[in-house]
Amino acid sequence: MLFLSVISFIFIQAYGVVGNEVGVQNTFLTLLPMPWLLLEGSRRSTKILLSVLCCSCYFFIEYHQPIQQLIALEDTHKGVLQILYELLAMLVLILIAITFDNDRYKFEKKLKTMATTDGLTGLSNRTKLFIEGDRALCAVKRHKLPFCVALMDIDHFKKVNDNYGHSHGDAALQVVAKLLAENTRESDIIGRYGGEEFALILQGTDLSSAIDKLNSIREKIEAEPICYGSVCINCTASFGVTQLTNPGQNLTDLFDQADSALYDSKDKGRNCVSVY
């Protein structure tokens, strides 16, 4: 309705008030892309209708001027008005460009977030985990700092899904992710490694401190009730951790070692931290 009001106002000005010599009708040309930028993507028919209306108004006024204008303008005044409408057209084009650029930036940001974030937990996904982890590993090698990598698995997660439903399983993943985020530093990198597995990259942390931190997280997971609907349960988690000992090691090597340590935790009865 707002767009139709603008079209009607411009049409009245160009057709009945000042005439087509001033160039008011050129404003319709700058309005053409506006519906496509401002309206929702699903309103395709409305966009086409408004664009056709703008074109029709422009050609009608440009080539058909049958009535006497209400305001008779001198050539000087017509020149001033023409400049003003040209400036208005430029302003509209600038606003269109800004709108398009902002929309493109938001869309690109959304795509990047979708590509690097786990949709359920909000943590980094495996792709982002390796990108940030490789960057952190290069930094600690350069500065000769300690570096630990850990993998965590929710114990008997399949039983949670089987006994309480996948919604309760999703709630368990979200609670664990929240606890990991709340109990790690900003410099630590955490993410969902896959399924019910989470990864922790602890840069600048030696093995002894890493073990203490993981045990603290493990105890908090065990004590935290996981509720969905009226049913609350408790889960435990197993951890495997390793440290960088050779400058030639890459992140995949460290994850493989952490995975091996994680299997040791499962062999020991779960709900514990094992070191590679």
Give catalytic residues, as residue numbers: 196
Strand partners, 124: 117, 191
Token readout for 73 is: 């303008």
How many whole angstroms separate alpha carbon 255 and alpha carbon 228? Answer: 32
3-state secondary structure of 18: coil
- Beta-sheet strands, E only, within the chain: 147-154, 189-194, 197-203, 225-228, 231-234, 237-243, 273-275
How many whole angstroms separate alpha carbon 144 and alpha carbon 122? Answer: 31
Q: HSE on the CB side for 10, CA within 13 Å?
A: 27
Nearest to 251 by CA among 201, 186, 205: 201
Token readout for 94 is: 């600038």
Helix pair 126-143, 75-116: axis angle to 10 deg = 80
Token readout for 266 is: 């499962």
Q: Order of strands, edge to edge, in the sheet holding 237-243?
A: 189-194, 197-203, 147-154, 237-243, 273-275
Burial 183-219 (b: 16+ CB within 10 A, else e): ebeeebbbbbbeebbbbbbbbbbebeebbebbeebbe
